[in-house]
Amino acid sequence: MSESTRWMTTAQAADLLGVKAETVYAYVSRGVLTRHPGADRRSSRFDRIEVERLARRNRRGGRAGALEVVVDTGLTLLDPEGALYYRGRDAVVLARTESFEDVAALLWESADTDPWRASPAAIEVGRQAQAALPASTRPVDRMRVVVAALAAADPMRDDRRPAAVVAAARALVAGIVDSLPERSPTVGASVAERLWSRLADRAPGPGEIRALNAALVLLADHELAASTLAARVAASVWADPYLVVLTGLSAGGGILHGASASGLEALLRTTTDPAEVPRVVGDRLRGGEPLPGFGHKVYTGRDPRADALLELVREAGGDPARAGVDGVTGVDGMDAVVTELVRVVGRHGGPAPNADLALAALAVKFGLTEGSGEMIFLLGRVAGLVAHALEEYPHRLRFRPRALYTGPPPGSTPSTPGAPGAPG
């Protein structure tokens, strides 16, 4: 194949695949297609062989190593080279300049500026629902209980009008936070300030609320992650907003998704000296254990959320009262541990840190209660789950995939294990 016929433009690739140009870039974001810069370095071109291989796979309905679902969305653009945009605006810039509430409004296309509050009755329901839980229950487990309780207490939860869904979402986030047990006095009215009082047993130090708010913003949405797809499927059958969120929270609680930050917290809480990091990493490699917090399924470059949040955590300094706690030398001891961890794992072309590491570093450095990283991840993601529900509701029941049956032929007699001729 000559050089002139090897490359295809975006339009040509879209035509061969029978999709829109936007979908071609969605394939790129999932690693299904590789984008190459054009001669002018601004346009895109695609390898004809790779495009034709994907077209053949799509035509024959064959199975791939991973399920590919492509959904048109106006919410989030995830650039595999290392950028994230909410409705065309850089999420890293938003994390430094906007409140979580304003970013949620951007995702929801809502101009409502009312305070984020749940009714006293709803908060009481949320608190009563936790009454039987052990005192040691993690915040994220309390969160799921509260969402289910608040759903049962809302007689208007089946109103699917966008304004009603947005109002329910704002009250839901407020209800989740305000129903949790207070660990320290609330210092302000924002979601980040109220959440701090539920996760920390002290007043926030300089920059800590800013970093917490940024974490909620950066985790608000991440295109079609597993939890988001689950939530969109629920929305497609017109589940109410509470059930949509609960579906997303359930998928997000998997150890390969939002719960990854909890394992990292444990590692950082027990690694207090930067000199210990090579041994800790080496022990995990020797045991064949994967090291969470590094690498990403989509980003071929760096995870922009990790870089931005780690920088904000470093900028936040620390609480002088915690100097020396748990063996950490000085308020910046955790920064040194994380910096060394990134250096050791990244040497020789190793993977870059992802958002899970940044969340764990925030939770441990700021002295938040165990499991706070996962709680921050999933609370922030509620904004995105609701935004995807708002996009999905008008489509009504469009997710009905088919399975490729690989079992015994119809009408065959199942073999009994251990019987003559049966597999041993």
Q: What are the tens digits of pLDDT across the range 82-125?
A: 999 999 999 999 999 999 999 999 999 999 888 899 999 999 99
Q: Where in the chain is the domain with CATH 1.10.580?
A: 98-399
Residue 205: how many other CB atoms lie within 10 Å: 18
Give span(s): CATH 1.10.1660.10, the chain.
6-70
Query: What is the percentage of the chain residues whose pLDDT exceeds 90?
Result: 61
Which pair of tokens denotes residue 408?
């015994």
- Gyration radius of the chain over CA positions: 24
CATH number of 98-399: 1.10.580
Residue 215's pLDDT is what? 98
CATH class of 6-70: mainly alpha
At 330, the pLDDT band (50, 70, 90 cuts) reads very low
pLDDT in tens, 186-231: 999 999 999 999 999 999 987 999 999 999 999 999 999 999 999 9
Return the structure tokens found at 320.
Answer: 């002088």
The pLDDT of residue 333 is: 86
Tens digit of each residue's pLDDT (9 = 90 or more) over 415-424:
666 555 555 4
- Residue-level pLDDT at 94: 98
Place of tokens 């509701």: 393
Can you give the pLDDT at residue 115? 87
Mean pLDDT, to the nearest integer, of 138-155? 95
DSSP codes joined into one string, 274-341? GGGHHHHHHHHHHTT---TTB--SS-SS--HHHHHHHHHHHHT---GGGTTGGG--STTHHHHHHHHH
| CB contact set of 372 (below 8 Å; sequence gap of 6+) | 139, 199, 265, 363
Round the average pLDDT of the chain to a whole number and report it: 88
Of the candidates 342, 136, 350, 148, the one whose C-alpha atom is nearest the C-alpha of residue 250 is 148
Sign of CA dihedral 8, 12, 14, 20: positive
Is the pLDDT reported for residue 329 higher than 50? Answer: no
Confidence of residue 372 (pLDDT cuts 50, 70, 90): very high
pLDDT tens-digit readout, 53-81 = 888 776 655 444 456 677 889 999 998 88
